[in-house]
Amino acid sequence: MNMPECAAPAAVPAASWDEAELVRGLLAGDEACLAAVYRRWSALVHTLAWRSLGDVKEAEDVTQQVFLGVWCGRRGYRPERGPLVGWIVGIARHRIADALAARTRRCRAVAAADSWPTLADPADDRFEGALDRVVVRAEFAKLASAQQRVLRLAFYEDLSQSQIAERTGWPLGTVKSHARRGLYRLRRELEVVFDPEAV
């Protein structure tokens, strides 16, 4: 189904609609203008994301996030500061950076999980994995509730610290402090459990 074209003054032929008209419609909350903006620049955003991330699915996700950001943040766009496409590319760069940071966090989490010392016979991997999870959950439950919340949002919802600050309403410095203290305490307590002689 084709989406309707952006509304423009009746005196202006559709073929000559320009960026200024798209901007006016977008700022006024015209969803058809958002559709027109998407049709005009989504390929550019997708290409930037794909080249940076090297993954088509991630690039598609980032492209959707960018145009959701365009719609939700449209009142923050200032035409006098530059063209609409420049603003969109700026949003894309931030979303690409977030995706790369999330990928790094996932890799670190996997590497950290792979580095845990073994507790039982290697042949009994299922028992070992279950026991490790129980121990980690028990130590995690001992953290302050704010630390638990920040770490859950970071590792289970894959949010950056800036996104966590937006979600919780806490200052970014507070989020960083909770994350740092929570990880430090969790690491210290797990070292005691898994390798008491190292403490």
Q: How many domains does the chain have?
A: 2
46 with 83, same domain: the answer is yes
Residue 158 region by backbone torsions, left for phi larger than 0, else alpha for psi between -120 and 50, else beta = left
Judge if pTM exceeds 0.75: no
15 with 101, same domain: the answer is yes
34 with 105, same domain: the answer is yes
Residue 196 pLDDT > 80, yes or no?
A: no
Alpha-carbon Rg for the chain, nearest whole angstrom, is: 24
137 pLDDT tier (thresholds 50, 70, 90): confident
Closest CA to 99 of 58, 68, 44, 69: 58
Distances (CA, A) of 117 to 31, 171, 184, 194: 54, 36, 18, 7
> What pLDDT sits at residue 144?
87
pLDDT tens, position by position, 74-118 = 988 998 888 999 999 999 999 999 888 888 877 776 666 555 544
Report the C-alpha gap between 181 and 154 in whole angstroms: 14
Which residue range(s) make up the domain with 82?
Answer: 1-112
Do residues 151 and 180 lie in contact, with contact meaning Cβ atoms separated by under 8 Å? Answer: no
